[in-house]
Structure 1
């Protein structure tokens, strides 16, 4: 299975929502996503769907459907940024959900119509 097909499969099974923040994502066009949700193209770029490896590739995680979930590019990058060891998927999901619930994850216009869903609880992958 290719990473692209695993990402597409995860996107579809998650109904287009990020596994961490729970916001809707896009796979085709930041411009049309921005227009649809009344946000800027710059803001829309953060919602691009990526393939997130639950067990990181650098740590031996495979490119399999079981190891890949769909995450927005912002959540994916921030999980791994400036860390020697990324938090587990479930730890990071809990962190992001706390921030989202306090209104401290995204700065979006009040009139935007971006939908959000509660993400499914992630399992911790041990590889």
Structure 2
């Protein structure tokens, strides 16, 4: 039986944020990303594997990985409806995704809609051909660290 970490464990990985009405646009996006990370239990919207909450040295040391790999596995805000198509930075339009998963979607000649892309990624993950072995190893360490965080 797998133990799921609580939202409290994930919340402890983030700093406290200001109320939404006091935030600038970039800060509002960070707040939405943070809330999506917590809501999703620290897992990527697309591949459902653990994400690094930030790109700081402490996290890098904790999982014993290169800065480049940590950057690829960090949490980013993904707009379900792009801002260029009228989407907002509000929580209902934001999901948390690995930087790598997010960027791969947008590097496609014609990016798929988020739900179709998620199905594609989930299939690739099931076939063990989405993330590198190094990335999977880091995510395994990250999950172990999170499960051992006091609640």
What is the 5 A alignment of 1:86-101?
A: 86-101=111-126
- Indicate the structure whose relative CO is greater, using CA pairs within 8 Å and at least 6 residues apart: 1
Whose helix proportion is higher, 1 or 2? 2
Deviation at 1:64? Answer: 1.1
CA contact (8 A) 2:51 2:139 kept: no
Residue correspondences, number: 116
Who wins on radius of gyration, i.e. which is larger? 2
- Find the residue that maps to 1:114 and give its secondary structure: helix
Gaps in structure 2 of 5+ consecutive residues: 1-19, 21-27, 144-151
Alignment partners' CA distance in 1, 2:83 and 2:59:
29
If the length of structure 1 is used for normalisation, what is the TM-score? Answer: 0.78
Q: Which runs of 5+ in 1 are unaligned?
A: 118-127
User: For residues 45 and 53 of structure 1, do their structure 2 counterparts lie closer, same or farther at Cα, with a shift above 3 Å needed?
Assistant: same
Q: What is the TM-score normalised by the length of structure 2?
A: 0.66
RMSD of equivalent CA atoms: 2.4
Matches for 1:77-92 after TM superposition, within 5 Å? 77-84=103-110, 86-92=111-117
